[in-house]
Structure 1
Amino acid sequence: MEKLNKTHQQQPYAFSMPVQYVDGGQDSRKTLTEDELEVKAARQYIKVQKRLMKEMDIRRESLGSLGQSQSDLYPNEKAEVISTGPFYLDKCIGGSTVGLFRPLMKVVEERSAEPAVPCGVTWPCSGFFSCAVLQKTGEPPLINGWIPYLGKALIFRKDAFKFLLDQQKKLGDIFTVHIAGRYITFIMDPFQYVYVIRNSKQLEFHEFADKMASKTFDYPALSNGKFPDLKENLHRIYQYLQGKPLDIISDHMMKNLQDIFEWKCSQATDWETEKMYKFCCSVMFEASFVTLYGRVPAADGHKVISEIRDKFIKFDASFPYLAANIPIELLGATKKVRKELIHHFLLQNMTKWLGGSKVVQARQDIFEKYELLGDYDKAAHHFAFLWASVGNTIPATFWAMYYLLRHPEALAAVRDEIDHLLQSTGQKRGPTYNIHLTREQLDNLVYLESALNESLRMCSSSMNIRISQEDFVLKLEGNQEVGLRKGDWIALYPQILHMDPEVYEDPKEYKFDRYIENGKKKTTFYKAGRKLKYFLMPFGSGISMCPGRFLAMNEMKMFLFLLLAHFDVELVENKAVRLDNSRMGLGILLPDVDIAFRYKLRALRM
């Protein structure tokens, strides 16, 4: 017999909450229940929504006085404007959803009113919020949440890691969570990952990613039928990021990094102090830009790239909201900044740059075959490729450098390995010497790679998403089955795996040699006595795995190699840098603060 539980369709339903009293007193030291945390988060959420709606009302009145319609305010808005935004909700509101959120605010305000409110009441709900449907046999336990439409979105956003662990303890390794109108089924057991990853026919990723990217970077979706085979043609180009072509582009990256470090050497006659994230961003952005798109021939080429970088940083700050489908009109100057960035990549500008990569040239050649793809659209694609190249690599480089400087024994081991390689290959270090590294030599730097993998384990927070293309039963190990409906999301959250004490001893501690065993790379990790196929997943999985992961790893290794070969480096500030969870689910987390370090040229003893 089927139970009333899962909420996909529009049917009358009463939202209820277990009897619970919300503490409105002074003592904030006591441990809050999950419901109390949700109420607290809801209050903060309401404040943001009120401010945003006030801004929207002002804009609407302004448009009205000019005789314009609401569609002029949000020309690309659709009714489901926030339906694809499970990650970030503090600005999650658009013109077409005002009627949705005003009744929501009334419900939440009444629920969160002070003084203490007895919560055993049921709240009638109809229209958009009415959503009860029969839960089918075989479907996982559903965590619905009491806030209309949002479900568990607020508590999930606050601390997804803790929330998912708590649900796993209560419900087991498979459960569904209602988050911002979406039903996301989480698979928590890493031994079951393979059954999701290999099932690419029923569980699709590319269409979801295409829609998100097209809205974020302002180009027409590849799947809209106007551009036959464009997606497949672009995918084939990733061959330039593997094998021999990877060696070529890595060599160019090494040369460009050395040019930048040589310039840094000329400035660092004594100790130079900089902010670490800003330093990593400056070096990695310029080296990546020149490697991919070519050198700006103007005398002020460095200045031009710095200006593009500064705009990129401003855009990147809004990326989580754009990825969550927040209208760009609500994000301050982001729309203007995005347009300016895209204009840098118009053909008349790119033709002036010298020495671009084959992968970018191949993309240009393909775009020229599609007449319906305008010049602005092509430029937007190039800008999106730039973001994909550096958006996660820059923070990952920061964390690798930060953890090395935080742990002197790690720094010493990696530097000894670097010095040994230079000595064994007869290469000299210093601003006037070019260092050449083969792929084999890079791969054999086991301490460097282990330290890098360890920092990736600790700072990555990607959520691997697939969308069910039809109603079907996903078969898992141990004769387990999961009933999924068309449109349901299924998610792997590798951060849970990365911080599992069964897999990694003392997972919250940085251990630079965690991925080394008997002097060689360690690739065997166990859980419950069984060998894991997947134990480190910073680059996604299966069809959603980052195609540029090999280049990204090479770039970060080369950055750290040259930094430690040329400079003595040390932290200036003794403060803890923590993960900023605002990008939860989107890749590498940023630091919550920047930190000062200093560097100077190493004495030439070789």
Structure 2
Amino acid sequence: ESIQTPLNFSLFVILQRHGEPPLIKGWIPYVGKALEFGRDAHKFLEEHKKKSGDIFTVEMAGKYMTFIMDPLMYPSIIKHGRQLDFREFTSRVAPITFDYPPVTDSKFPGLGEQIVRSFQLLQGDCLTPLTDSMMGNLMLLFRQDHLGAGPAKEGIWRSANMFDFCHSVIFEASFLTLYGRPPSAHRHSSMGVVRKDFIKFDTMFPLLIAEIPIWLLGRTKAIRQKLINYFLPHKMVCWSNTSWFIRRRSELFEQYDVLRDIDKAAHHFAILWAAVGNTAPAAFWAMYHLVSHPEALKLVRQEVHDVLRLGQVEFSSDRDVTLSREQLDKLLYLESSISESLRLSSASVNIRVAQEDFSLRLNAKRSVAIRKGDIVALYPQSMHLDPEIYEEPQTFRVDRFVQDGQQKTDFYKDGQKLRYYLMPFGSGSTMCPGRYFAINEIKQFLCLLLLYFDLELEEGQPRATVDLSRGGLGVLLPATDVRFRYRLRK
């Protein structure tokens, strides 16, 4: 991808071609509008939409990003796979962020295609053993950490920070499900240290994705190295119960002699970030919204009990519970509450890089000229918070995605039904391949919480708000953690 310099930029302004969208440029050469966008992407884009219409180009960090703000135009972008490529962006940025060599066909013939194919092991029939394994690992953690002897057994209220609680459970359960267990133990003894380092790395993730050199980011390089070292092949080969997905990737990497052990480990670490980076905050927001709305929590809890009863299971806190993939699929209101939480908290930007100069047709009346190397971007958060599509968009509604006992899929803009109305996982052929696993994880986690515990927010604290610094990168984190109480249900 060509990066245009300030010199190109001045020429672009002078020679802006017919049919190109309005250009928004910053007063600092090269940086452009990157700082304003970083402070509050949604506000920035909404303000420029009012001034410049549904399509405009923003100069940011030496690149030109053309934002398409009308969701009715999204299908036109998504189907232009040949001219608008997603992988060019990720295949350049991910190796820099996670420290593995770019996966090029010249150096690693066929590896890129095989890696893409390996993601099928997170979907379809392969999702069933993965879901079963996750259920067992969540149950293990709940039993050992939260349902054991002492206060839990006596039904005494315990307090915790909600984001930290969600992150610790999702992190370890995901780790065990994907990578497996250490020899002769159910859990990895160093998991607390690994998670602490992961959080430090994750804090710097937005800067790494923005291609800030890692040597400018304090101890981040050393922390990343520690995390990568955890996945060295001689360590992983001793782990049992490893998922098919990770086993397949390990086998693939072994076929390439030019791939060093440290490079293989870096690929595995990248998957850990992909598995936890957005799932943990998504679990937090779903939990937070349910606990904040007792009626919604009661409705979803009843739904979980009803689904268990349909399977002839009478729940008892003394016994481990299992929810199959089929049972999870029946939890309509739980799924709606997760979708609603994602609508309110996800702020990913869908990026495509133009492979050639071409005219992008957006609808019957409109097309825009796009230059090779420019970025076309969709920012679904503006759609998620559009009051025309979602009535009272800032309000959490547990049943927003339920209609007549079915999943609701009819949402409208300008009187037209939207093909894409909820996009927390990207779009088109580049949608997150682990999305089904992630949603099932969150469902399982919430089911166990609702079945085993009474849950309350502690009094005297403000409502949770989003930290806007990760705008464009997925699910936003809470600006500050939230205190809650939990006790074993009678």
Instruction: Note the C-alpha offset of 1:354.
Output: 1.4
Q: Does 1:446 align with 2:328?
A: no
Distance 1:248 1:137, change over 3 A: same
Q: Matched residues in 1 for 2:8 and 2:75: separation? A: 36
Instruction: Note the C-alpha offset of 1:297.
Output: 3.0
Instruction: Note the C-alpha offset of 1:181.
Output: 1.1
Q: Secondary structure at the match of 1:184?
A: strand
Q: Does 1:138 align with 2:135?
A: no
Partner of 1:404: 290
**Unaligned runs of at least 5 residues, structure 1:** 1-6, 14-129
Question: What percent of counterpart residues are identical?
Answer: 52
Q: Is the 8 A contact 1:8 1:131 kept in 2?
A: no
Distance 1:300 1:364, change over 3 A: closer
Q: Is the 8 A contact 1:461 1:538 kept in 2?
A: yes
Among candidates 382, 386, 389, match of residue 503 of structure 1: 389
Partner of 1:176: 57
Q: Is the 8 A contact 2:23 2:56 kept in 1?
A: yes
Q: Does 1:592 align with 2:479?
A: yes
Q: Is the 8 A contact 2:340 2:400 kept in 1?
A: yes
Q: Is the 8 A contact 1:464 1:544 kept in 2?
A: no
Among candidates 385, 390, 397, match of residue 276 of structure 2: 390
Q: Is the 8 A contact 1:184 1:489 kept in 2?
A: yes
Q: Matched residues in 1 for 2:292 and 2:6: separation? A: 52
Q: Matched residues in 2 for 1:383 and 1:429: separation? A: 37
Q: Does 1:424 align with 2:310?
A: yes
Instruction: Note the C-alpha offset of 1:335.
Output: 0.6
Q: Is the 8 A contact 1:8 1:132 kept in 2?
A: no
Q: Matched residues in 2 for 1:361 and 1:426: separation? A: 35
Q: Matched residues in 1 for 2:201 and 2:274: separation? A: 13
Q: TM-score, normalised by structure 2?
A: 0.95
Instruction: Note the C-alpha offset of 1:446.
Output: 0.7
Q: Matched residues in 1 for 2:13 and 2:309: separation? A: 69
Instruction: Note the C-alpha offset of 1:520.
Output: 1.9
Instruction: Note the C-alpha offset of 1:310.
Output: 1.3
Deviations 1:415-457 (A, max 9, x none): 1111112223222334542323232221111110111100000
Q: How large is the Cα RMSD of the aligned pairs? A: 1.6
Partner of 2:488: 601
Q: Which moved more, 1:493-502 or 1:177-186?
A: 177-186
Instruction: Note the C-alpha offset of 1:282.
Output: 1.0
Partner of 1:70: none
Q: Is the 8 A contact 1:145 1:151 kept in 2?
A: yes
Q: Residue type matched to 2:302 in 1? A: D
Counterparts of residues 328-343 of structure 1 (less than 5 Å): 328-343=214-229
Among candidates 253, 258, 264, match of residue 372 of structure 1: 258
Q: Does 1:273 align with 2:153?
A: no
Instruction: Note the C-alpha offset of 1:154.
Output: 2.1
Q: Matched residues in 2 for 1:225 and 1:12: separation? A: 33
Q: Matched residues in 1 for 2:74 and 2:9: separation? A: 36
Q: Secondary structure at the match of 2:148?
A: helix
User: Greater RCO between the two (CA within 8 Å, min separation 6)?
Assistant: 2
Instruction: Note the C-alpha offset of 1:305.
Output: 1.7
Q: Which moved more, 1:219-228 or 1:247-256?
A: 219-228
Count of matched residue positions in the alignment of Structure 1 and Structure 2:
481
Partner of 1:553: 439
Q: Which moved more, 1:593-602 or 1:493-502?
A: 593-602
Q: Matched residues in 2 for 1:424 and 1:491: separation? A: 45
Partner of 1:10: 7
Counterparts of residues 27-426 of structure 1 (less than 5 Å): 132-223=13-104, 225-263=106-144, 264-267=146-149, 268-269=152-153, 270-297=156-183, 301-426=187-312
Among candidates 342, 359, 363, match of residue 477 of structure 1: 363
Q: Which moved more, 1:450-459 or 1:149-158?
A: 149-158
Q: Secondary structure at the match of 1:135?
A: coil
Q: Matched residues in 1 for 2:104 and 2:444: separation? A: 37
Rg (Cα) greater in structure: 1
**Unaligned runs of at least 5 residues, structure 2:** none
Q: Secondary structure at the match of 2:138?
A: helix
Q: Secondary structure at the match of 2:38?
A: helix
